Amino acid sequence: MRVRIVHVEDYFDPEAGYKVNEMVMVSKDHGIDSYVITFNSMEPFHRNLSLEKDREFEDKAYLYHFQNLKLSFEEFVKSLFSWDPGYILVECIARVLGLGIYGVNTVCAFLFFLNLTQLINAFEIKMREALLVAFPYT
């Protein structure tokens, strides 16, 4: 069965460093069909589109970071102090094990879920309320 993803986005700039762009680029490498339904004008959102600023954000995007991660000890230590140390550690482990960005996302999702269940148990929160707070954009 072929996987198909439809993503609805207010505006889609194929040259930008947004996560939806990364999703589309990475999914095609894994045999996943990704479709983006969008608006073709940036006018309603902002009038001063800065390509330089957009490139700056693209350079900081986590997929770009993962793909350019250096595994030498010196570069690893340097990265620990320039970015989030826990995330860098997860990235390095995923790179060494050959899990790719999906491995990084899986570990992060697992840690999120683990801590969410700890929070639910600690405060005796109902599951429906916990999910409402945990996923505000769904």
Angle at 66 between CA 7 and CA 119, to 5 degrees: 70
Residue spans of the domains in the chain: they are: 1-44, 61-138
Q: Is the pLDDT assigned to residue 4 strictly greater than 70?
A: yes
Run of H or E including 31: none
Residue 46: per-residue pLDDT: 58
Residue 1: per-residue pLDDT: 65
Residue 66: per-residue pLDDT: 77
**What are 91's two structure tokens?**
């990235």
Alpha-carbon distance values, 128 to 13, 112, 124 (Å):
35, 17, 12
For 65-110, what is each residue's pLDDT tens digit? 777 777 777 877 777 777 788 888 898 899 889 998 889 989 999 9
Q: Given CA atoms 18, 21, 25, 26 in this order, what sign does their dihedral have?
A: positive
Residue 110: per-residue pLDDT: 92
Structural contact between residues 86 and 104, judged by C-beta atoms closer than 8 angstroms: no
